Each structure stands twice: as structure tokens, then as C-alpha cells.
Amino acid sequence: MAPARRCKVREMQGMHLTSDLHGCPASLPVMTQPEALRALCLQAVADSGLRAVGELFHRFPAPGGVTGMVLLAESHLAVHTWPELGAVTLDVYVCNLGADNSTAAAAVLAELEAAFSAAHVHRQRLLRAVPDETTSA
């Protein structure tokens, strides 16, 4: 059996932020219009200093909402809206290879949360690829 190799996880550390929003007004254009959600997401990314390298936004048949994805040089942003439920899920993941993008990721999340005027917000933060003494490949 070959000896275990040490992973270089320290080099690929990232941060994954999620936010589940409830009580969002269904009448907001960003809940049902791909163009409005696209503009919001791209502006939040630009404001944070992260770099968009691709995007896709899709509207589901009424009463459904919009799913949008922005590919980032640093990783990704995903948004899913459910106007019929007044709900939104936000997902921002950034790699921290070469620079710590954690503050920028938090800024994107905060700008998006504010735009949806949610009555209730549940946030989670997950550090990815954090090395420990048992990490091996």
C-alpha cells in the first residue's frame, strides 16, 4: 500500500456563504424577471470587486420564479427565487487562492439580501478545504 500524500489544501481554501430568505415580496421584479435579477447580481458582483466570467438566468413558468448563476473568476454566485412562497436562496462561494475574497463574498450576500426585503433571513458560513492534522490523499 502506498503511503498517504499530504494535500495542499491550504492553497485552495475557500468560503461558502448561504442565505435563506423568507417573507420576500412577490411583487419585486427580481423575484420573477430574469433581466432584473441578472442586473442585481452583476451589480453586486461588480460592487464587491469580484469578477464575473459567465452567467445564466432562467425563468420558470408562472407562478415560478427565476434561477440565476454567475460564474466568478473566484468561483460562483447562485440565486433561486420562489415568488409563490415569498422565498429566495442565495449561495456565494469564493476560492481564496492568491487572495482572501471572504470580505467580497460577504458584500455580495449583503447587497442581495437587502434587495429582497426579506422578513426572515437564515445565514450559514462554511469554510472549505481547511487543513487539519488528518488531511491526506
Enzyme catalytic residues: 75, 80, 95
21 Cβ contact partners less than 8 Å away, ≥ 6 residues apart: 87, 88, 89, 90, 113, 116, 118, 120, 121
b/e burial code for range 18-57 (CB count within 10 A of at least 16 → b): bbebeebeeebebbbbbebbbebbeebbeebebebeeeeb
Task: Name the β-bridge partners of 56.
Answer: 69
